Chain A
Amino acid sequence: MKHLWFHLMPYTELPDDFREHNPSVWVDIHSRLFDPERAHHMYNDFMDEMEFAAEIGFDAVCCNEHHSNGYGLMPSPNLIASSLARRANPETALCVMGNSLALYNPPTRVAEEFAMIDCISGGRLIAGFPVGSPMDTCYAYGQNPSLLRERYLEAHDLVMRAWTDPDTFAFNGRFNQQRYVNIWPRPVQKPHPPVWIPGGGSVETWRWCAEMDYVYCYLSYFGYKAGLQTMQGFWEEMKRLGKEPNPYRAGFLQFVGVAETEAEAYELYREPAEYFYGRCLHIDPRFAAPPGYATEATQRAGIQGQVATAALKNRKALQVSKSAREFDAILDNGYVIIGTPDQVADKLQRVIHDLRFGQLMLLLQFGNMDKQLANYNTRLYAEHVMPQLQDVWSEWENHWWPTPMAAADRASPEPVAYSSLAAE
């Protein structure tokens, strides 16, 4: 089992009445709410938290890309990852989840920056390639929703070839034409870093991951109950395609809060959870569905799903609310798992098997949680939960994990003390 420590880097000081006075946390959130000097501290706290997670034994630290977003302060996750490549525990993988390929012009920029991170880190990069949310891609970045997926797939082909073709080549795409593609540097990992695809529940994405032999990650903020159907659909599709049911093919994101007692967990994690689900997910629905973003096959499946659900209404079907904002409802719906280390480990055992995944992405900092609490949560998880889950799936091989240079062959960055330099 792999444990990946994931940071969204939320702005932690949105006002209490944020919902009442602001239409959206995303796309048109007002700049008056952003204090750069407070963000200076947030970024540094967040990176401290990630370095702490790496130090205490998580298998990887993860960051991701969002734009014009009050709960995700990482327009460029590569900046964070490059800092971690130097400062964080050299045994820890760096999962950049990831770069939204269609947003880069030319997309070879992604091939270059990821290759840089792979070189700096000695081959520890996991390369995530999301299509990106409608808010990030179509609204904040002005991409055409009707062309986004084609642009994404073409950019993917360009990046993969830029990583693997030893010669300078011309790329004659529909959206990208480059006479001389020849990236320097090249990635350490051969033929290329492992590729993980964060996606929603579309059959097309599942098939594509299977065909390309990539990890599929279901990154939902709504936890294991809402994720069950999606993950079952994924595994049914893998079976249909004749793929072996290796759990490491799949990643899943879960919010977790660990404490000494159940009561303490309830007390500690209530505010950050309500902050996240109340303020950070306050998204104007007008930015949710640009026409063409969802493929017609996905729309069709969605409408058929609604019809089927309506038919099952009387049987109290697997309906999980996705609008809970009060802590009790957040817990009831499974968005956040809290408890003592043993309770959390028991619950995760079941979730890991029910949904079947080997790459567990954990949000142990969420909402307005401060560094002290984030590190407390991280420590309890690493020391008391992780050991109980370490052997899950030990019968399977993780083919999708970074293969770094041998430790002995790697550089060891020396910490530089400013005061000692000044003394010289």
Chain B
Amino acid sequence: MESISTPPATEHVDVNGVPCRIWRKGSGRPLAFLAGHGGLPKWPAFLDRLAETHEVIAPSIPGYPGGLGHTKLFSHLDWVLAVRDLLNGCGLEDGDTLLAGSGPGASFALEVAALWPHKVGRLALIAPWGLFDEAEPMTDPWAQRLPELPGMLCADPENWNALKAAPEGVNSIEWPIEQTRALEASARAFWPLGNSGLERRLGRVRAPTLLLWGAEDRILPCSYGERIAAGLGGPARLEIINGAGHLAELDKPAKVAEAVAAFFA
């Protein structure tokens, strides 16, 4: 992961009475990014690139690093409302928001766009969760041997390892617990198959949508992207990112940021 010159500004908003971290960096038209599986324990190079052209707002979904309160959420509606409250807490209440996301975060972005179509202007989504295809089942992200997990999530396992390695000087007990909590948060919302019933709501999404898919995604096959694109109620385009895995934003930060920025321009 590239080193960064300036860290993002940090603030917190309450969701269900529990604080969630919000990172902001850059200037320009605001865009929000909802993180993928594992969350954002560190500010990633991908968002740094986007911050060159946009004000990037990265709110932490409850349970992800920087966000607590996942244990207050029980139904999928609870989760979707929490994400909406989170976006509102970022000041993105008025509509036409540029909304980006990855994996579970991308799935929640689609839910928000389906339930409150006026809130979302455009969607740029990396491998959204929420569907299950028996012919090509989603790989179980919660049943992987630890040494194999990085290679399941990223084309280059070192990209995951770099995101998840404890920085010098952090609490060595709390850091791993925070990383496990992030995996738990995804599990809590999407266990056991990743299927939230999103497919039935896709037709409600009117916002133009760019779907980005790592050519080497070992969690969700690209066919899920085609199926989502076909189900969406608005215009949609699927773009394959060569050399990238499920977390394409970690494997190919410049390429993914460029595609998102171009779509949001």
Chain A binder among B100-108, B138-146, B213-221:
B138-146
CB of B177 within 8 Å of the partner chain: yes
Q: Please state if A299 and B177 are interface contacts (CB–CB under 8 Å).
A: yes
The distance in angstroms between the C-alpha atoms of A288 and B153, with both chains bound, is 19
Q: Please state if B181 and A296 are interface contacts (CB–CB under 8 Å).
A: yes
The distance in angstroms between the C-alpha atoms of A399 and B176, with both chains bound, is 42
- A291-B143 contact given A146-B188, A146-B191, A300-B173, CB 8 Å threshold: no
The distance in angstroms between the C-alpha atoms of A299 and B187, with both chains bound, is 17
Q: Please state if B177 and A146 are interface contacts (CB–CB under 8 Å).
A: no
Interface size class of A (residues with CB under 8 A): 20 to 34
Cβ contacts B179-192/A at 8 Å (1 or 0 each): 01101111110011
CB of A245 within 8 Å of the partner chain: no
Q: How far is the CB of B63 from chain A (nearest CB, A)?
A: 9
Chain B binder among A109-117, A137-145, A255-263:
A137-145
CB of B70 within 8 Å of the partner chain: yes
Q: Please state if B180 and A145 are interface contacts (CB–CB under 8 Å).
A: no
Among B142, B145, B146, the residue within 8 A (CB) of A290 is B142
Q: Please state if B187 and A146 are interface contacts (CB–CB under 8 Å).
A: yes
CB of A240 within 8 Å of the partner chain: no
* Residues 135-180 of A contacting B (Cβ, < 8 Å): 138-139, 142, 144-147, 174
The distance in angstroms between the C-alpha atoms of A296 and B184, with both chains bound, is 11
Q: How far is the CB of B173 from chain A (nearest CB, A)?
A: 5
- A292-B176 contact given A285-B145, A286-B144, CB 8 Å threshold: no
Q: Please state if A304 and B177 are interface contacts (CB–CB under 8 Å).
A: no
CB-nearest residue of chain A relative to B149?
A286
The distance in angstroms between the C-alpha atoms of A219 and B70, with both chains bound, is 31
CB of A411 within 8 Å of the partner chain: no
Q: Please state if A299 and B143 are interface contacts (CB–CB under 8 Å).
A: no
How many cross-chain pairs have Cβ atoms below 8 Å apart between A and B? 59
Query: Residue among B71, B143, B173 with the most chain A CB within 10 A?
Result: B143
* Residues 289-310 of A contacting B (Cβ, < 8 Å): 290-292, 296, 299-300, 303-304, 307
CB-nearest residue of chain A relative to B71?
A146
CB of A287 within 8 Å of the partner chain: yes
Q: Please state if B184 and A145 are interface contacts (CB–CB under 8 Å).
A: yes
The distance in angstroms between the C-alpha atoms of A138 and B184, with both chains bound, is 12
Contacts of A145 in B (CB 8 A): 142, 184, 187, 191
The distance in angstroms between the C-alpha atoms of A15 and B184, with both chains bound, is 36
The distance in angstroms between the C-alpha atoms of A300 and B171, with both chains bound, is 12
The distance in angstroms between the C-alpha atoms of A146 and B180, with both chains bound, is 11
Q: Please state if B187 and A300 are interface contacts (CB–CB under 8 Å).
A: no
- A144-B188 contact given A139-B143, A291-B142, CB 8 Å threshold: yes
The distance in angstroms between the C-alpha atoms of A202 and B143, with both chains bound, is 23
Contacts of B191 in A (CB 8 A): 138, 142, 144-146
Q: Please state if A287 and B143 are interface contacts (CB–CB under 8 Å).
A: yes
Contacts of A138 in B (CB 8 A): 191-192
Contacts of B185 in A (CB 8 A): 146
Contacts of B186 in A (CB 8 A): 291
The distance in angstroms between the C-alpha atoms of A287 and B103, with both chains bound, is 22
Contacts of B146 in A (CB 8 A): 285
Sample 7 A-B pairs with CB under 8 A, ordered by A number. Answer: A138-B191, A144-B187, A145-B142, A174-B74, A290-B143, A291-B180, A291-B186
10 smallest beta-carbon distances between A and B, as pairs: A292-B184, A146-B188, A291-B183, A291-B184, A144-B191, A142-B192, A286-B143, A286-B145, A303-B173, A146-B184
Q: A147-B188, A285-B146 are in contact. List 8 more A-B contacts (CB 8 A).
A: A144-B187, A145-B184, A286-B143, A291-B142, A292-B188, A299-B176, A300-B173, A307-B172
